[in-house]
Amino acid sequence: MTARVGTVTLVGGGPGDPELLTIAAARALASADVVLYDRLAPHETLAELAPRAELIDVGKRPGHHPIAQEEIERLLVAHARGGADVVRLKGGDPFVFGRGGEELDACRNAGVPVRVIPGVTSAIAVPAAAGIPVTHRGVSRLFTVVSGHAPLSPAELEHLAGLGGTIVVLMGVSNLPSISAGLLRCGMAPDVPAAVIERGGSAAQRTTFADLSRLRETAERAGVRSPAVIVIGEVVRRALLGEAEARAVLADAVLRSGSGV
Ligand code: SAH
């Protein structure tokens, strides 16, 4: 008789606050034998959420890769083949810049049963935590989520600048200068409001506001660090109480802490 093969569940853990885990995510964690988790996934309460599980930190910090992606995939398959029900807990949604597709392929190629539980993505939830709706009737009817990990090409910048909706940039802190300069170069209005929300949903959340033309220097002065979500577009004004106050705040490029409202 062959031993039972376990399963792999790719779980979106939301932007960090355990309250934003889905019920399906909590259930998968509760019955997991092994959990491989990320730095951005909600991990502080993992011992409670996954009481039976061996917890393995495979977290990556920008520029550092403690465990290579291939090794994560190897571990998923190896634990499942050993009979364990494995949860791969990822920040946000597994398929939004999360390399979830690669992990899914690795399991499928190895013949390991795998399923995906979507998560609340930081692309929407982090702006919301700062009081910014990514769409708003009469203001923005589209939003584009873009990775700022690698510099944007001139063609991409041109398209983004011409779209007219909300731009949400993940992993964009180190390329913020080139992204804001590129959008301005492509004709985006210098007074379009922007916000950088760091550590969204945590007690240490901080929102920095500036108009596009001053985003770079304001973010530099504030010492903005990853993880952060950058939002560019008129919806940013919704984070501020009234239009008059919004204008004043943006004009002064004032720094705000907390919910941003
Ligand atoms: N799959 C994730 C995104 C992974 S890319 C998701 O759907 O949310 C990692 C980037 O997400 C970070 O560089 C940052 O831009 C953003 N991010 C994730 N959690 C965040 C948080 N709590 N606060 C601010 N930014 C966050």
pTM beyond 0.85: yes
**Number of folded domains that form the chain:** 2
Q: What percent of the chain has a predicted confidence (pLDDT) above 70?
A: 89
| From 17, 33, 38, 85, the catalytic residue | 38
Quote the ligand 1 centre to 25 CA distance (angstroms). Answer: 18
**C-beta 17 within 6 A of ligand 1:** no
Whether pLDDT at 72 is above 90? yes
Q: Are residues 72 and 101 in the same domain?
A: yes
Domain of residue 177, CATH code: 3.30.950.10
Whether pLDDT at 60 is above 90? no
Q: For ligand 1, atom 25, which residue shows the shortest CA distance?
A: 228
Quote the ligand 1 centre to 194 CA distance (angstroms). Answer: 17
Q: Are residues 115 and 129 in the same domain?
A: no
For residue 90, indicate whether it is catalytic.
no
Q: Are residues 149 and 97 in the same domain?
A: no
110-157 residue pLDDT tens:
999 999 999 999 999 999 999 999 999 999 999 999 999 999 999 999
State residue 261's pLDDT score. Answer: 36
Q: Are residues 12 and 112 in the same domain?
A: yes
Domain of residue 24, CATH code: 3.40.1010.10
For residue 191, indicate whether it is catalytic.
no
Q: Are residues 229 and 149 in the same domain?
A: yes
Q: Are residues 235 and 140 in the same domain?
A: yes
Q: Are residues 36 and 115 in the same domain?
A: yes
For residue 60, indicate whether it is catalytic.
yes
Q: Are residues 233 and 128 in the same domain?
A: yes
Write out the residue range of the structural domain in which residue 136 sits: 123-243
Instruction: Please identify, by atom number, the ligand 1 atom nearest to the C-alpha of residue 201.
Output: 22
Q: Are residues 110 and 128 in the same domain?
A: no
State residue 249's pLDDT score. Answer: 52
Q: What DSSP designation does 1 have?
A: -
Instruction: Please identify, by atom number, the ligand 1 atom nearest to the C-alpha of residue 40.
Output: 19
Q: Are residues 26 and 48 in the same domain?
A: yes
Instruction: Please identify, by atom number, the ligand 1 atom nearest to the C-alpha of residue 125.
Output: 8
Residue ending a domain, among 120, 140, 170, is: 120
Classify residue 248: in a domain, yes or no: no
Q: Are residues 129 and 92 in the same domain?
A: no
